[in-house]
Amino acid sequence: MAGEFTIRSLSALDFPMIRSMTAFASGERATPSGTLACELRSVNHRFLELGVRLPEELRALEPALRERVAARVARGKLDLSLRLRAPEGEGALRLDPTRLRELSELALDLDARFPRLRTGFTELLQFPGVLQAPAADPAALQAEALALLDAVLDEFVATREREGAKLAAAISERIDGIARIAAEVRTLMPAIRAGQRAKLEARLADLMQGNGQPQLDPGRLEQELVLWLQKLDVDEELDRLDAHVGEARRVLGLEEAVGRRLDFLLQEFNREANTLGSKSVDARTSAAAVELKVLIDQIREQAQNIE
């Protein structure tokens, strides 16, 4: 049954390009201008959508950051944030002695004129320009930001691949289940067809007995019987299911983003399962059609998170 599958322990090597669209990665980097912190997170999305939050010092870097991310990620709604914390510790701020002397002279003059004013040293330090942060090197800071993003992207993609391997393993198990069900139905069909033929022949024989009607043409009866049985035939549906299984296995091994391909294949799987159910004249094939739909729905849930 659909709920009886166990997922094998697989790694990203089994499915080299199957990536989850849900991931998070972060990192920090110390620079002369302060500490850079980077966070990158993503959720499911039909296309690639990237939101970027940057400090003013890195605003000009946004196009390069977007290009960097787009080169590594194909789908998902991503949020990228970079923050710059001012450096801490001794030497973080520089005193401007000239500015301080000018303000001190002005304060003494004001104190002489207004004895109650009493300007303090702390107040002088709060005037703009007295204490200055070290001047940042824009080019060096941008280079540090790009290097940090590359490191975070490495972790981000690795996380996506690890989660993607789990999703692909679950999908692969269920694809195997679809193949098994198709094979079981194919094995059942000769007996089902024979049983349906025997039932129809028995009904026709009853209609032809003891009612005073002229005997029906056996050739015509055989022709009608064959036509009716052909309407119930599911060989083509089973063949297409097998073809879709083969294509799904091939897609899982592709070295490219496969989420959209899987979406299309699931539509095809569902179409064949619906047709199999509508043609069913046996409880066993009806149950098989239901089980197929359960597996297809389970695959769809997993595939929605695949890049």
pLDDT tens digits, 54-100: 998 899 999 999 999 999 999 999 999 999 987 765 455 666 677 76
Domain spans in the chain, listed from the N-terminal domain onward? 2-89+134-163, 94-132, 164-303
- Per-residue model confidence (pLDDT) at position 2: 43
- Per-residue model confidence (pLDDT) at position 197: 76
Which residue from 141, 128, 149, 147 is spatially nearest to 87, judged by alpha carbons? Answer: 141
pTM for the whole structure: 0.69
Q: If you average pLDDT over residues 4-24, what whole number do you get?
A: 63
**To the nearest whole number, what is the mean pLDDT of the chain?**
83
Residue 153 pLDDT > 90, yes or no? Answer: yes
> What is d(CA 37, CA 8) in angstroms, rounded to the nearest whole number?
37
30-44, 154-168, 220-234: lowest mean pLDDT where?
Answer: 220-234
86-90, 135-139, 160-164, 238-242: lowest mean pLDDT where?
Answer: 86-90
> Is 2-89+134-163 assigned to CATH 3.30.70?
no
* Location of structure tokens 């269920």: 174
Return the higher-pLDDT residue of 111 and 60. Answer: 60
What is the amino acid identity at position 19? R
Residue 111 pLDDT > 90, yes or no? Answer: no
- Per-residue model confidence (pLDDT) at position 200: 74
Does residue 40 contact residue 24 with C-beta atoms inside 8 Å? Answer: yes
Q: If you average pLDDT over residues 38-45, what whole number do you get?
A: 96
pLDDT digits (tens, 9 = 90+) for 202-226: 776 766 665 555 555 666 666 666 6
Report the DSSP pairing between strands 76-85 and 48-53: parallel
Which residue from 149, 193, 152, 166 is spatially nearest to 15, judged by alpha carbons? Answer: 166
